[in-house]
Amino acid sequence: MQYTLRHITKVLEEIAKEGIEGILIGDTCLNIELGNKFFEGDLDLFVTSLSPLMESTRIITVAEERGWSTGVTELGTPSITVTVDDIDITVELYENIMDFYIPQEIIDLCQQEYNIEGNKIKCLSKECWFALKARRGASQDLNKISFALELLEKSGIKIDKNKLKKAIEAFSEDAYYIYDRLRSIGLRV
C-alpha cells in the first residue's frame, strides 16, 4: 500500500518517542530526493540512538505495548510495523553488524535533512546511496543504481562526483571494487 511523506514523518516521530532515532538509508532517500509524493515498501533506518541488536528485547517489548507488530531483518536486527491512518509501515532497524557497515564518515558527509510539515527527516544523499549499493554489489543493486541514474538524469538532478568519491573512499578496503562496479554500469567517478 502506498504512503506519503507525512506518513513517514509520523512513523519516525512515533518511534522517536520510544528512543529509536536514526537516519534513513534505503531507497526511500532516493525517492525523496527525486520528489516522489508516494512511497511503497519498508523504511530502512540506520539507528544512531541505541543498538537494535543489543536492545532488541526492549524494542520488542515497547512495540508490543504500543500495538506494533515486530519482525526480524535479514541481518537479525528487529523490525517494527507502525500503523498510521490504517496504513502499516515497516521500519527495519539497522546498525553496523557483520558485513553491513556504514562508516561514521558516510553519515557525516551525506546526512541530509528534509523539513516536512515541521518535522525533520534525516536521509543519506544519493551519492552515499550509490556507494552503499555498489559496495554490496548484487546484480539487483547495480540495476537499481542504473535505473536511478536514468531517473536523476531525466529530472535534471546532478550527482556530486566529489561527494561520491569521498563516500567511496570511506570504504578504503572496498573502494576499488566499488569504482569498478560503478564503471561497469557507466558511472565514471
Same domain, 172 and 111: no
Expressed as residue numbers, the domain containing 41 is 5-124
Same domain, 78 and 104: yes
How many domains, the chain?
Answer: 2
User: What's the pLDDT at 137?
Assistant: 87
Reported as type and span, the H/E element at residue 151 is: helix 139-155
User: What's the pLDDT at 98?
Assistant: 83
Strands 87-94 and 43-47: parallel
Same domain, 131 and 76: no
Angle at 11 between CA 18 and CA 108, to 5 degrees: 80
| Confidence class for position 51, pLDDT limits 50, 70, 90 | very high
Give the three cell numbers for residue 7.
506518513
User: What's the pLDDT at 24?
Assistant: 98
Q: Regarding predicted confidence, which is higher, 116 or 168?
A: 168
Give the three cell numbers for residue 165.
568519491
Measured distance CA(103)–CA(73) in Å, rounded: 20
User: Is residue 162 a part of any domain in this protein?
Assistant: yes
Q: What is the mean pLDDT of the chain?
A: 95
What are residue 79's phi and psi, to 5 degrees?
Answer: -125, 150
User: Is residue 167 a part of any domain in this protein?
Assistant: yes
